[in-house]
């Protein structure tokens, strides 16, 4: 999570894990979100609670440029306004019916979601590209200890002896979502090795977390 005085950016998912016309659940420090991508490719972040009867919007579906609730089909635009109520097809939904939305930016193959109104953009991560994401049952401190380095100003954790790998962790309560980043020029063999090394760091972090409990 990258913060300034006005807000923060959280790397919630890999761009490749959110194809057009799909929705998935994600997390930011402000709470759960429905992260979705329209048919045309625009990524959006909506509160994960339908204003009608509270169904999780991440269980819904995407049609065209709208996210629809799985329960009664109310549809929401990327700006959060309700644009269709199937039970009343001739009704223009009142402007008051809307879901909260958060700003989204994509860079370095990651989807970043804003909490508040950060004054800056997500950090440029040079030639790093995402390899995969994994979840550790451990906090960031345990991951830093297992990797052998502290997070830098951009939130990246280097892995001792493997300079082409960086871990980008986001703690979510007792768990941490880790995006594994590698240098773009990595060979297939390096990619396979990076995946295994990241899993080894996770195992060590989880072991340290258990020992500390």
What is the nearest approach in angstroms of ligand FES to the Cβ of residue 74?
4
- Examine residue 52 and tell whether it contacts ligand FES (CB under 6 A): yes
DSSP string, 147-188: HTS---TTS-EEETTEEEEEEEEEEETTEEEEEEEEETT--H
Instruction: Kindly report the length of the chain.
Output: 213
Q: Which of residues 67-86 bind ligand FES (CB under 6 A)?
A: 69, 71-74
**Interaction between residue 61 and ligand FES (CB under 6 A):** no
Q: Tell me: does residue 112 bind ligand FES (CB under 6 A).
A: no
- Say how far apart CA 197 and CA 189 lie, in whole Å: 12
Instruction: Indicate whether 53 belongs to the interface with ligand FES (CB under 6 A).
Output: yes
Tell me the per-residue interface mask from 5 to 44 with ligand FES, x by CB under 6 A, - otherwise. Answer: ----------------------------------------
Binding mask 175-194 for ligand FES (x = CB under 6 A): --------------------
52-61's contacts with Cβ under 8 Å and 24+ in sequence apart are 56/25, 56/32, 57/23, 57/99, 58/23, 58/24, 58/25, 58/26, 58/32, 58/33, 58/34, 60/23, 60/34, 61/23
Q: Based on CB atoms, which residue is closest to ligand FES, 20 or 86?
A: 86
Positions that interact with ligand FES (CB under 6 A):
50, 52-53, 55, 69, 71-74
């Amino acid at each position: 999570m990258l913060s300034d005085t006005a807000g923060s950016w959280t790397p919630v998912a890999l761009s490749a894990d959110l194809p057009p016309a799909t929705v998935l659940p994600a997390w930011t420090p402000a709470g759960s979100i429905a992260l979705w991508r329209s048919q045309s490719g625009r990524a959006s972040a909506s509160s994960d609670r339908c204003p009608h009867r509270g169904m999780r919007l991440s269980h819904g579906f995407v049609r065209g440029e709208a996210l629809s609730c799985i329960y009664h089909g109310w549809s929401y635009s990327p700006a959060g306004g309700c644009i269709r109520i199937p039970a009343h097809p001739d009704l223009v939904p009142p402007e008051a019916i809307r879901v909260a939305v958060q700003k989204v930016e994509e860079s370095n193959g990651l989807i970043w979601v804003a909490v508040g109104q950060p004054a800056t953009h997500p950090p440029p991560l040079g030639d790093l590209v995402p390899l995969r994401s994994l979840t550790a049952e451990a906090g960031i401190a345990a991951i830093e200890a297992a990797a052998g380095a502290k997070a830098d100003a951009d939130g990246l954790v280097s892995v001792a002896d493997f300079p082409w790998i960086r871990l980008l962790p986001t703690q979510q309560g007792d768990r941490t979502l880790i995006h594994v980043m590698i240098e773009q020029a990595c060979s297939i063999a390096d990619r396979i090795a990076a995946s295994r090394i990241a899993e080894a760091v996770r195992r060590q972090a989880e072991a340290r977390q258990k020992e500390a409990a």
